[in-house]
Amino acid sequence: MMKKSSGPAFRAAQIDLAKCLACHGRAVISGVFHELACVQCNASGWVAVETGDPLPLEVLVTQLSIRLQAADHQIEQLKRSALLGGPATQYDENNRRGPGATNFTGD
């Protein structure tokens, strides 16, 4: 029996994207009367860096998802570091330490 290949492997690897030059990453082009979907980038605003071609829609969706997830992750990390090490935390600590030290008179 022949080993059956199940078609091209699904690739979730990230492809380097560049902003579409035709629409400057806006995904739409200003027409005479209204904005038109940019055909150079499949109306995504992004093209493949290597070829400058628009990605097929089924690839594009995954690539945009990967980028969105990465961006979300980055936002969460920034939020967390702001909560843990931000100026608000230091202020609370100083405030707690301050009155105890200065108000103790001992008489």
N-to-C CA span, the chain: 96
The yes or no reply on residue 19 touching Zn ion (CB under 5 A) is no
Output the CA torsion sign for 14, 20, 23, 25.
positive
Provide the minimum distance between the beta carbon of 43 and Zn ion in the complex, in angstroms, as a whole number. 7
The yes or no reply on residue 18 touching Zn ion (CB under 5 A) is no
CA gap 60, 82 in Å, rounded: 33
CB 56 within 8 A of CB 36: no
Residue with structure tokens 């995904």?
A: 27
Identified binder of Zn ion from the candidate list 41, 42, 55, 63, rule CB under 5 A:
41
CA gap 29, 53 in Å, rounded: 17
Of the two residues 18 and 22, which places its CB atom closer to Zn ion in the complex?
Answer: 22
Identified binder of Zn ion from the candidate list 15, 18, 19, 22, rule CB under 5 A:
22
Phi and psi at residue 90, to the nearest 5°: -65, -40
Of the two residues 49 and 83, which places its CB atom closer to Zn ion in the complex?
Answer: 49
Per-residue mark of binding to Zn ion, 42-81 (x: CB under 5 A): ----------------------------------------
Residue ranges in contact with Zn ion by CB under 5 A: 20, 22-23, 38, 40-41
